[in-house]
């Protein structure tokens, strides 16, 4: 048998075919480093088993690119990427997912993966994300202090057809819906919807960035007398809703309080800008802003958390209508708080307090972490108003008057106890009725006077700061601190009631119950109870959630 010697042409063909085979079977040099990076940081096989193609190009504002494991500061990824593209089939639809598998830390993944972003039905023809359906709003990175770099992984899947969400994914997740974002799994998601192997992937690393403006913690000698020997010089306070009409002036007052060492300002709109503005106020308190998706770090190590988030009361809007709006915000924040920092003392400012406090408590109860003495509705505004109106009536200095107000925090549930006012104003029955009416309607009158341009804010911020300052003194070990608060208990045969309480390092240490009432005040209390009971039931009922509890009851972070 005779073999023909291969020609140069035939050898070239064979070489080209072999090279083509290798190019199909193996990643190119340009792709190999990307695959190596995914494997080096454990994205493969921890988050995904493999990926079909490369690259996935992602760019944030100011030209910050995601480059397979590069380090990006959280502030540079505060908003959704401005550019996202990959090698797409123009006739297909795609899913884009962003996940953090390292919550709260890579060595302690108690929360599983956290779903930071999810868009389905993205058209391959132009990869316009706005034409897709968002199932989870973009949540920026918020790695907690001391947990090292977190991996933020982007994965793209090709859909078999139009994506139809199951009940589990039917509700669009807002930035505050942390309880519904945790325990996520990219692999399980792909398996549930038969998405197959991802067509592209990329990731970056991000770690905690400390506050910029930190002054030395120095207490002037002239102020030393205001502190007990057990003063806590490292008290951190977190304000949720810090950029709102109440949150901003309250944050300013807290910034100037020498008992506050660190102030975390959380909001979904412009928190970094407001925090930067406030940081220029010369006081020892360090300030940092936290945006959407960063509530974990805002809550971390906070001794006191103030909830001032939600929509303010507007002209023509009833308390019931206001609660329907604010209950959604409070519910999601309470879920996050019950997971991230269940042992803090919570001061609720968000109205209507008659319902938001029961809602907050019920969420904590369902999570198995409720401590009744640590969830306090700040209701001393009624007492402040009563003192002001009585002082005006008598021509006294408001600061010299103290008039208890009990019951609830709105309308008929507000019960001034003028008979126990110090000093005794000796008002006539007609004057008592007039002052009672003025106290009850003060909020509505302010809303009407502002003609829709604002709501009650400054007086609420002032009264809230007064309460928090008293709480800080109690936390520092000062004894006999008494304030009025709306708390869970069994006063006046209702589950929640506003009355004087004694504060201690862990919240309420003693409920002082009802003061002595005269006949007129007893009649006011009798009228208060049915309305207050209805408000409480509305708050407790709003905690109902058809989704299963995603968080173990015993979880403590």
Q: Which residues are catalytic?
A: 409
Q: Which of these, 502, 429, 409, lies nearest to 418 by C-alpha position?
A: 429
Q: How far apart are CA 69 and CA 359, in angstroms?
A: 42
Please give the biggest Cα pair distance in the chain: 130
Taking the mean position of all CA atoms in its chain, how far away is CA 210?
19
With contact defined as beta carbons under 8 Å apart, do 212 and 244 qualify?
Answer: no
169: left (phi over 0), alpha (psi -120 to 50) or beta: alpha
Q: Which residue has the tokens 């007064």?
A: 466
Q: What is the DSSP letter of 428?
A: -
Q: Which of these, 182, 199, 158, lies nearest to 54 by C-alpha position?
A: 199
86-125 as b/e, with b when 16 or more CB fall inside 10 Å? bebeeeebbbbbbbbbbbbbbeeeebbbbbbbbbbbbbbe
Q: How far apart are CA 444 and CA 314, in angstroms?
A: 9
Q: How far apart are CA 108 and CA 128, in angstroms?
A: 36
- Strand partners of residue 498: 407, 486
Q: Give 363-405 as a 3 state SS string.
A: HHHHCCCCCHHHEEEECCHHHHHHHHHHHHHHCCCHHHCECCE
Rounded to 10 deg, the angle between the 458-475 and 381-394 helix axes is 120
CA-based angle 17:21:23, to the nearest 5? 115
Rounded to 10 deg, the angle between the 381-394 and 429-449 helix axes is 120
């Amino acid at each position: 048998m005779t073999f023909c010697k291969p020609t140069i042409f035939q050898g070239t063909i064979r070489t080209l075919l072999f090279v083509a085979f290798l190019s199909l079977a193996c990643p190119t040099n340009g792709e190999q480093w990307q695959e190596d990076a995914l494997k080096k940081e454990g994205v493969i096989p921890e988050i995904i088993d493999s990926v079909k193609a490369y690259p996935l190009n992602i760019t944030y504002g100011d030209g910050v690119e995601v480059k397979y494991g590069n380090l990006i500061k959280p502030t540079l990824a505060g908003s959704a990427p401005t550019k996202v593209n990959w090698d797409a089939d123009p006739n297909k639809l795609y899913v884009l997912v962003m996940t953090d598998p390292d919550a709260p830390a890579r060595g302690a993944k108690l929360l599983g993966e956290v779903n930071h972003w999810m868009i389905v039905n993205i058209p391959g023809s132009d990869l316009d994300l706005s034409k897709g359906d968002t199932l989870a709003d973009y949540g920026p990175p918020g790695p907690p202090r001391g947990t090292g770099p977190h991996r933020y992984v982007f994965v793209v899947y090709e859909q078999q057809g139009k994506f139809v969400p199951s009940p589990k994914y039917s509700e669009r997740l807002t930035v505050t819906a942390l309880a519904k974002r945790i325990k996520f799994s990219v692999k399980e998601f792909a398996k549930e919807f038969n998405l197959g192997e991802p067509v592209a992937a990329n990731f970056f690393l991000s770690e905690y960035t400390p506050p910029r403006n930190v002054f030395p913690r120095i207490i002037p000698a002239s102020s030393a007398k205001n502190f007990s020997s057990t003063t806590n010089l490292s008290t951190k306070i977190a304000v949720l809703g810090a950029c709102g009409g109440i949150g901003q002036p309250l944050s300013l007052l807290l910034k100037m309080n020498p008992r506050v060492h660190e102030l975390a300002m959380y909001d979904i709109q412009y928190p970094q800008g407001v925090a930067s503005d406030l940081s220029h106020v010369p006081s020892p308190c360090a300030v940092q802003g936290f945006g959407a998706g960063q509530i974990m770090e805002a809550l971390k190590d906070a001794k006191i958390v103030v909830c001032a988030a939600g929509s303010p009361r507007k002209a023509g809007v009833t308390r019931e209508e206001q609660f329907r709006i604010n209950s959604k915000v409070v519910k999601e924040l309470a879920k996050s708080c019950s997971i991230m920092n269940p042992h803090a003392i919570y001061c609720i400012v968000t109205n209507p307090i008659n319902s938001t406090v029961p809602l907050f408590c019920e969420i904590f109860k369902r999570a198995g972490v409720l401590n009744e003495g640590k969830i306090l509705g700040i209701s001393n505004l009624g007492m402040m108003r009563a003192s002001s109106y009585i002082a005006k009536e008598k021509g006294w200095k408001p600061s010299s008057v103290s008039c208890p107000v009990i019951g609830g925090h709105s309308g008929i549930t507000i019960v001034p106890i003028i008979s126990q006012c110090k000093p005794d104003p000796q008002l006539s029955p007609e004057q008592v009725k007039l002052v009672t009416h003025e106290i009850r309607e003060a909020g509505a009158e302010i809303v009407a006077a502002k003609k829709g341009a604002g709501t009650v804010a400054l007086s609420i911020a002032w009264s809230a700061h007064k309460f928090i300052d008293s709480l800080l003194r109690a936390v520092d070990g000062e004894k006999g601190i008494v304030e009025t608060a709306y708390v869970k208990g069994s006063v006046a045969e209702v589950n929640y009631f506003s009355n004087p309480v004694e504060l201690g390092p862990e919240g309420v240490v003693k409920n002082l119950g009802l003061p002595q009432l005269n006949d007129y005040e007893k009649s006011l209390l009798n009228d208060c109870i049915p309305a207050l009971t209805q408000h409480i039931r509305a708050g407790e009922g709003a905690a109902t959630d058809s989704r299963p509890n995603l968080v173990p009851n015993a979880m403590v972070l």
